[in-house]
Structure 1
């Protein structure tokens, strides 16, 4: 296949998102780092039917974006996200029949799937309230920076629901352990920033005034690295949950061989030989 034929074959999938116009949240791109801002600070940045769906679709598009290499997810004001909007989501759900309720819960779960399957590292910058679906979004991110005043709560039992929402029973125990996850999912209580950091939910605690800048710096570091290889790392971290050790070692052998065929691998070697810093281009 010629290069021009390949370009034609893949043209329908490749996309650029720097000029994407978000309707239900803030969106900006700088130096290949995208920033998503939940921007309803007067309500502590709750999610709505529309923002759920748009976020799901955006993260699906990120799998094909050529100009985005890392993502920062945060909330406007002094809070991350208070979960699903009580009046715009929870109220209407009470009147829906079961088939439509299942459509909704599958749609919210699809947001987590899209976040886990997009190749870009996602860094959640969590300040203040991080509750319900907001806690799920932070959980579904690859890394999390918090603050001492962060309040993490999986509130589902408080509204008469199970803690098994949007993958929480699969993902949260892998981050903080089965016992701690069980406590949060059964009780719905808030965990402080210090608890979340000690448990491994947060990679780092930052000063509130520096939180987004610190998360953006981490994202920029990711964006300047071997981004194709980062996507492989994210894929294997997710995929190996369902593998035995032997299968995981074989899968990583195949994944690493793929990365060894990239130009970034060659660039790193030549930079090492020349005693310079490699400049990765993601190919």
Structure 2
């Protein structure tokens, strides 16, 4: 939103629906913003970056905040060291869970599901930078991202059945088949085996493959490219990609007609037209 736009909008409306995220102080992972790209780094490398009750909740809350943030236009999720994320911490999550009753267990599983919902509902495209171990909830975070940059040495495992649980965790049975196909997803969810980096590339789980030392840089470069595009329109695209899973083709075409008409009202659409006429690249501002 430009300063001219802000002057036309009631400040009370902006105050209730806009916030900043660059100044957010993360407690249970690293968070930084550069060039309108926010980077979440799971930073417990000595344990292969496992999640805890605290980090689950904070990730959920940060992605919920990003829904209203106007200073961040794309997100990268990465792991510190040579691994992405080993899933829920065995000692800090799995151990305590076996002592809980049903109400508290449901509280936990709903919290983890709410993280995926928040990732899917924030308008910023999310790019996962995947190297090394990407397992359990870590594999889910990678799956819930919009794009994935990976390495051939990575190992992605939806290993829930290895600990006596169903593969239907945090939306896996709905989302994974749409990414790699029903048969391949079924194999991974029934067996809990690792998907190699080569398989992830061939099956379309990874959008790009690069050297381990370049995975974060390449993911941030892709996120920066998206952040420099028509970000309002990108947010609409993300919304439609998510919503159209439940639509028939006629309903989807009508929904896209309405969405595209809305995008045609933006200044970015006008900027793109004038740039084309003037034979130059457009500079998008997200409004």
TM-score, normalised by the number of residues in structure 2 = 0.97
State the partner residue of 2:211: 207
Q: Distance in 2 between matches of 1:107 and 1:57?
A: 10
Matched, 1:116 2:120: yes
- Please point out which of 26, 32, 35 is paired with 1:22: 26
CA distance in 2, matches of 1:159, 1:220: 38
The structure 2 residue matched to 1:182, chosen from 181, 186, 202, is 186
The aligned counterpart of 1:43 is 47
CA distance in 1, matches of 2:272, 2:14: 28
What are the ranges of 5 or more consecutive residues in structure 1 without an aligned counterpart? none
Q: In the alignment, does 2:71 pair up with 1:67?
A: yes
Match of 1:145 among 133, 149, 168: 149
| 1:261 corresponds to | 265
**Which residue in the other structure is 1:156 paired with?**
160
Q: 1:125 is paired with a residue of what secondary structure?
A: strand
> Aligned partners of 1:86, 1:275: CA distance in 2, in Å?
57
CA deviations on 1:84-132 (whole Å, 9 max, x unpaired) are 0000000000000001000000000000000000000000000000000
- 1:19 Cα shift? 1.2
Q: Pick one of 87, 97, 117 that aligns with 2:101.
A: 97
Per the alignment, residue 223 of structure 1 pairs with 227
Secondary structure of 1:202's counterpart equals: coil
Provide the rounded CA distance (Å) in 2 between the counterparts of 1:28 and 1:3: 29
1:5 and 1:220 map into 2 onto residues whose CA distance is 28
How many Å apart are 1:6 and its aligned residue? 2.0
In 1, Cα distance between the equivalents of 2:102 and 2:223?
40
* TM-score, L = length of structure 1: 0.98
**What is the root-mean-square deviation in Å for CA atoms of aligned residues?**
1.0
Corresponding residue SS for 1:11: helix
